[in-house]
Copies of this chain bind each other. A is one copy, B any other.
């Protein structure tokens, strides 16, 4: 299998965590679904900003502050291009996907939902796209509907359709790629269906943005959220895309400096989006780092990233299929970047620890998706998730370590 990237070395060399002379030599990192490692380009963009260009933004009349503001706002434009948003006013900087979803629930949900309305999610959601809607349900008396899991591990399309039928659903919100299984949802079709039924649509793009190009206008969604740390960017920063016409109808989220026009003790006026939703000093360096991450991904290009992942997935599937007693959770018609599995006779947490002893980093547990695992009759799995630095050999090491665990837990014959 060829994973050659023309004109440059394999990108793994860009990631200092894998430095063969460093403290993590030999690391097989298969936990990019939880968080991706960072290329030098991102790490240095952040430290360069602090070392040579740091200032608070938006309020300073001096050069350093103006330049920092330009850089910060430049990333907003860059993200708009990355998602093909119609305007950079549609890009709101948040801490991460969790805050993005909470912002929608608060600033849109509190004003636009009332008792009797429904919000539709799917059985494949991360807790971040479940709990905020439960809170709203309990506060406002709305209904929370859950489109069922299909046999094949995808969304049950008929159930999704049925749950839209009575027109009560005001918002359909679903994941682009299920973080616990790797199932790719048919988000364009689901969006079209929900919009036709009169609902707004929010998409949780956490597991998607690092793996495939996203075009919010082509998707036709009203909201799209993701976290920078899963896109090879810094922690502490993420994006809420919102269609401008919708953002304009929304109340502020957090309040304070930087999002107000005038403040008097009796009355305060708010700025327009996106500033309305960015109270206080933002994670300026995080934004700069996100810009560098998008540049980095762009320097590899989607064709390479997608081909690389396709090859890795095929190889991984073949390798894992050969491990006896390993059961892969189904991921619907399309899988992306994630293998979630159980191994007969070895508890996922024991497996995780033993894999770690083999220098293979995977995640064991419920992956913040307890309801989905419960659908499969499980409370935990082991999950291997991919980044652009992974190589086919990583699956060989994974499989070998799994076999070692199996040997340990096989009752010894005297």
Contact = CB atoms under 8 A, between A and B. Distances in A.
Given A98-B281, A255-B131, A280-B96, A31 B50 contact: no
Contacts of A192: none
Contact of A31 (B35, B55, B371): B55
B52 A363 contact: no
Interface string A196-216: 000000000000000000000
Nearest to A255: B131
A146 interface: yes
Contacts of A34: 55-56, 59-60
A256 B131 contact: yes
Given A280-B96, A282-B235, A371 B264 contact: yes
B47 A355 contact: no
Contacts of A55: 31, 34-35, 361
Interface centre among A56, A99, A265, A283, by most B CB within 10 Å?
Answer: A265
A259 to B, nearest CB: 8
Interface in A34-51: 34-35, 37-38, 40, 42-44, 46-47, 50-51
A236 interface: yes
Interface centre among A24, A281, A352, A353, by most B CB within 10 Å?
Answer: A281
A132 interface: yes
Interface stretch (A62-70, A78-86, A404-412): A62-70
Interface stretch (A15-23, A153-161, A239-247, A336-344): A15-23
B135 A16 contact: no
Interface centre among A17, A101, A236, A284, by most B CB within 10 Å?
Answer: A236
Contacts of A364: 61
A89 interface: no
A98 B362 contact: no
A260 interface: yes
Given A46-B46, A50-B43, A52-B16, A279 B61 contact: no
A37 B130 CA distance: 40
Nearest to A134: B268
A361 B126 contact: no
A54 interface: yes
Given A98-B257, A126-B256, A371-B263, A54 B37 contact: yes
A22 B49 CA distance: 13
Interface in A201-235: 227, 229, 234-235
A281 B368 CA distance: 11
Interface of A: 16-17, 19, 22-24, 27, 29, 31, 34-35, 37-38, 40, 42-44, 46-47, 50-56, 59-65, 95-99, 101-102, 126-132, 134-135, 144, 146, 227, 229, 234-237, 252, 254-258, 260, 262-265, 267-268, 279-286, 349, 352-353, 355-356, 360-365, 367-368, 370-371, 374
13 contacts: A17-B54, A22-B51, A35-B54, A59-B368, A61-B365, A62-B362, A95-B283, A127-B263, A128-B280, A131-B263, A135-B252, A236-B286, A237-B283
